[in-house]
Structure 1
Amino acid sequence: MNKQVIIKRISIPWRKLLGTITLLAMLVAMLPAPALAIRPPSSPSAPSSDVHQSPAAAAAIASQVGEEVIEVEPAVAAEIQQKGTAGYLVYFRDRPSLDAAERMDWIQRGRFVAQQLQSVAQSSQKQVRAYLDNKDVSYRSFWIDNMILVEESDVTVFNELKRFPEISIIRSRRTEMLIEPTSKESLGINEEIFAIEPNISHVQAPDAWALGINGLGSVVSSIDTGVRYTHQALVSHYRGNLGDGTFNHNYNWWDPYGDHPTAPADDNGHGSHTMGTMVGDDGGSNQIGMAPGAKWLACRGCNTNNCTDAALLSCAQFIAAPWDLNQANPDPDLRPDVVNNSWGDCGQSYDPWFRGVVDSWRAAGIYPVFSNGNSSNCGYSSPPPCGTVGNPARYGNVTGVGATGQQNGAYATFSLRGPTDNADPENGGDYPTIKPQVVAPGSNIRSSVNTSDTAYEGGWSGTSMSAPHVTGLTALIFQA
């Protein structure tokens, strides 16, 4: 369904709605402009400039091919010198102009962005792919950012790649961490179970529902550990539910690890918990989510507590143009409105390895939400030092979400802090380096888990519990 039709069809009292939903930004004095102007977002900045300005690139080893300089992260050169082989990420210079996407409707926009990205990747990667094929090197090509992931090569291939002028930078491979809760305290035996969870009531989401704004027509997504799709609070909200007791998982689920190739699953519980906070509602005594009228899809970017670069990039591409269970027939018409990310690193400086992906999502109208990170994940004291927000939450063009108490606006002692060294020149105003831009309840959060179709757990605390509040809020705004 065309999203613009939904917007035109609904008439609501704006003053009351805005007064209701903006409480979610409790400690931060402003809700960042990207959240208020989701459709369309501001023009994405070219990732090539980020490459040349990053600290990693500044310290990189440079190789010159004609007038072009190819940068190599020192970690790649060190690994291949030590071991004789290495895997690495190869980034290409060319990137299409996607500015025109802002003036298109939802369907045209997604198709245009996907087609442009695919076309440029196909043409600019052609010679390098032919070379790697000739050398029998295993690799994966991506278009969500114009790059190739080389699984492993020897030093000869590595050195030869530095002779291709279409390559801009070679980076080391990344393994990111799942931003796990700081605690998972069990509910006390006498603890009351509320029909609407206190954290949901605190941000006044039920007042938005009373106005007819519950996320209807919006689609949320997550890159996490997966989802138990049969859970009673989630199953009716799953986009793959056909409503007659059958399911179509094509275009609604992808597991790049291959452990659960035919239907959504969650071996950890984290992804089921975060999805519950986005949309969960069993129709009775378990109203755990912000946008119970929205639908969801998911990609398993993290198999346990680790998230490989290959899986994250595969998921990123799936979000922009979901495909069937055979990883064929991608369809950008079926992309979600917003993507929740509860993964990242502990870096204290800007790392642009995922920046091109975020730029592509934004060009397609997909809103990126990232957890700021927790002190316990990175070995920091509580409260953590300033400037500890990890990547990609550190990026100036995403909404980084911090945590507060369950029913108060006190900043949680475990929640990582800014400022960032990657400023937001478009929407930052007088505070372009502020992180987090938004905070939400992240302490003692109760939601769905993966152990059974009726299982819930409270006591979960972390910024991973906060971010899905904002993702759900975004679904409400999309409907409104």
Structure 2
Amino acid sequence: MIHVKAFKYEMNMPKRRIHRKKAIGLQRPRLAARVFLVGVAFGLLCSLAALPNDSCFATAGRFMDGYDNLQNKSAFALGLIGESGSRVPWAIKESVLAPPIGWGVRKIGADSVWAAGVRGAGVVVAILDTGTRYTHVDLADHLWTNTDEIPNNGIDDDSNGYVDDYIGYDFANDDGDPMDDNGHGTFIAGVVLGDGTAGFSTGVAPDAMLMSLKWIDSLGYGSENDIWEAVWYAVDNGADIVCLAVGWADADGWRRDWWRNFLAIVADSGITIVANPGYGTGQIPRRVWMPAAVPPPWLHPDQTLRGEPAGVIAGAAIDSFDSYIGDQIGPTVWPDFPYVPGDPDLIGLLKPDLSAPGVGVISLDYRSDTTYMGPGGGSSGFASPHVAGAVALLRSAYSSLTPAEIDSILEMTAVDLGDSGKDNFYGAGRVDVWAAYQYCMPGVEEETRRDTHGRLVEAARLVCSPNPSFGPIAISYAVDSPGPITIQMFDLAGRPRQEILATDRTSVQGAIHWDGRDRSGHKLPSGIYFVRLSAGRLEMSEKIVLMK
């Protein structure tokens, strides 16, 4: 376990010049304080290169063969078997022509998004941690660079206050080399964007770019001052995502409010922040670590207390069986999210926001450029980079999405686990980035309206409201085309779930209500569905979201 304790520091504005900071106008308070920061569990069991009797990996950790003859320990990490030794049904044998893929990457559907041609290209992810082994072959081709800086010349070429900040910066030691001498940051970076060059695909978004910002030293110590500067550096240098897989114990006081305001402004600048909510230690409602306790950029409908959104998405850990790891961590409390135990009206702020794989994870070894470490995890520290990678895939595919839109899409399309809806164990559920990607795809009616011969059709209308919906949906339609008219409901797999309307009339407009039930009268689960209207040669559809 890494214990990260902040040093005493004077909270004065730094002499360094950070341009976008001035534009969005938050000043750091001029007070001194001590804080106690806590990192994540880092109980890595072994290096893959040292796995005994494992034909899949040679001494350099390179992929050599299929998944046959794996030891149970490594097979669990690869997602082939569960904790009880039973086979995981969705795990499939890899071709020897491609590296195997981590079970967590598959579990959240990232490999399906890859198959659609989206792998995170064009997205910069700032990893704020112990640094990274940026020379690892799984990272080396995906480094963000400061093109205004000449590396290793000892000069601040771009006059931004940071000497030799070519691929990031080491705020813990105040130099331009964010090399990892602890291991945690490299492991996190591998889960976000490791590309599998050395033989194992660990990363959710393998074509994303890494901005390495080190604020924790080799012993696991860091300061609130350094993380403040690191976040601002990410803002000022074009990061799209900030991944914080560490945190510190929640507490009252002005600093808590200040961090909320600060990170809300960061989110308003377009940066999505993903953080580690902790293991579930301490007392509710102070169990969620900072900064994960900060409200998310979007409030789920189950968040019945409607306080002010802010900017932090918190990801909790699950295993390959979708079982929650650890104890309940939420809710947390803010003045606009009051909490009274047992009071259904004063529920506090629901946390976490999402769940993702956080146990049995394999990632990059900070001691070598070609090897891996694991299986490790058992905490939300390894869940948050899975969430950050999912965000990177969405930003890559749909670059105009805001942090609030990304959060809402991921929460609405998550696989609901535990209690129905958003809860204080799983949040809105397990991330399903494939469903999120599909949700963002335009529906047929948003692109064109054509008949079955490909001709554009003008005299047609199909509108579903409300959307998303928690209950009945009003479907209004207008067509002028010969032949029978049908309106059907399909799920994402293309399976018909309900026939809502069937008529022989040939020129019609009107509205009907659908009660959210399938052909058998059962309520359909939360998810994405398509309403399809067919009238002669005309077909059109509209995408809808059902929520419990």
Aligned counterparts, 1:27-426, within 5 A: 89=11, 113-117=20-24, 145-149=26-30, 170=31, 172-181=33-42, 183-186=43-46, 188-189=51-52, 190=71, 191-192=74-75, 195-240=100-145, 250-258=165-173, 261-283=175-197, 285-303=199-217, 304-322=219-237, 335-347=238-250, 351-375=256-280, 387-396=286-295, 397=310, 398-405=312-319, 407-413=320-326, 417-422=329-334
One-letter amino acid of the structure 2 residue matched with residue 450 of structure 1: Y
State TM-score, norm by structure 1. Answer: 0.57
Query: What is the CA–CA distance in structure 2 between the aligned matches of 1:223 and 1:394, rounded to whole Å?
Result: 17
One-letter amino acid of the structure 1 residue matched with residue 329 of structure 2: R
CA offsets 1:431-452 (integer angstroms, 9 cap, x no match)? 7711000110001110002111
Structure 2 spans left out of the alignment, 5+ residues = 1-7, 53-70, 79-98, 154-163, 296-309, 338-344, 398-548
Q: Which residue of 2 aligns with 1:435?
A: 351
One-letter amino acid of the structure 2 residue matched with residue 213 of structure 1: V
CA offsets 1:55-106 (integer angstroms, 9 cap, x no match)? xxxxxxxxxxxxxxxxxxxxxxxxxxxxxxx855479xxxxxxxxxxxxxxx
Shift of 1:282: 2.9
Q: Cα 1:423–1:219, aligned 2, differ >3 Å: closer, same or farther?
A: farther
User: Are 2:380 and 1:455 aligned?
Assistant: no
One-letter amino acid of the structure 1 residue matched with residue 324 of structure 2: Y
Shift of 1:347: 2.4
CA offsets 1:259-292 (integer angstroms, 9 cap, x no match)? 6x23330010000000000000133621100001
Structure 2 counterpart SS, 1:459: strand
Query: What is the CA–CA distance in structure 2 between the aligned matches of 1:458 and 1:392, rounded to whole Å?
Result: 27
Match of 2:387 among 449, 470, 473: 470
Query: What is the CA–CA distance in structure 1 between the aligned matches of 2:108 and 2:368, rounded to whole Å?
Result: 28
Query: What is the CA–CA distance in structure 1 between the aligned matches of 2:286 and 2:220, rounded to whole Å?
Result: 24
Query: What is the CA–CA distance in structure 2 between the aligned matches of 1:433 and 1:223, rounded to whole Å?
Result: 25
State TM-score, norm by structure 2. Answer: 0.50
Structure 2 counterpart SS, 1:311: helix
Structure 2 counterpart SS, 1:200: helix
Shift of 1:146: 0.6
One-letter amino acid of the structure 2 residue matched with residue 412 of structure 1: I
Q: Cα 1:148–1:385, aligned 2, differ >3 Å: closer, same or farther?
A: closer
Q: Cα 1:454–1:431, aligned 2, differ >3 Å: closer, same or farther?
A: farther
**Aligned sequence identity (%):** 25
Query: What is the CA–CA distance in structure 2 between the aligned matches of 1:385 and 1:420, rounded to whole Å?
Result: 7
Structure 1 counterpart SS, 2:322: coil
One-letter amino acid of the structure 2 residue matched with residue 288 of structure 1: T
Higher RCO (CA-CA < 8 Å; seq separation 6+) = 1
* More helix as a share of residues: 1
Query: What is the CA–CA distance in structure 1 between the aligned matches of 2:326 and 2:36, rounded to whole Å?
Result: 26
Q: Cα 1:467–1:218, aligned 2, differ >3 Å: closer, same or farther?
A: same
Structure 1 spans left out of the alignment, 5+ residues = 1-85, 92-109, 121-144, 150-169, 323-334
Query: What is the CA–CA distance in structure 2 between the aligned matches of 1:401 and 1:336, rounded to whole Å?
Result: 20
Q: Which residue of 2 aligns with 1:105?
A: none
Asked if the contact 2:21–2:232 (Cα under 8 Å) also holds between the matched residues in 1, the reply is no
One-letter amino acid of the structure 1 residue matched with residue 225 of structure 2: A
One-letter amino acid of the structure 2 residue matched with residue 441 of structure 1: P
Which has the greater radius of gyration? 2
Q: Cα 1:385–1:147, aligned 2, differ >3 Å: closer, same or farther?
A: closer
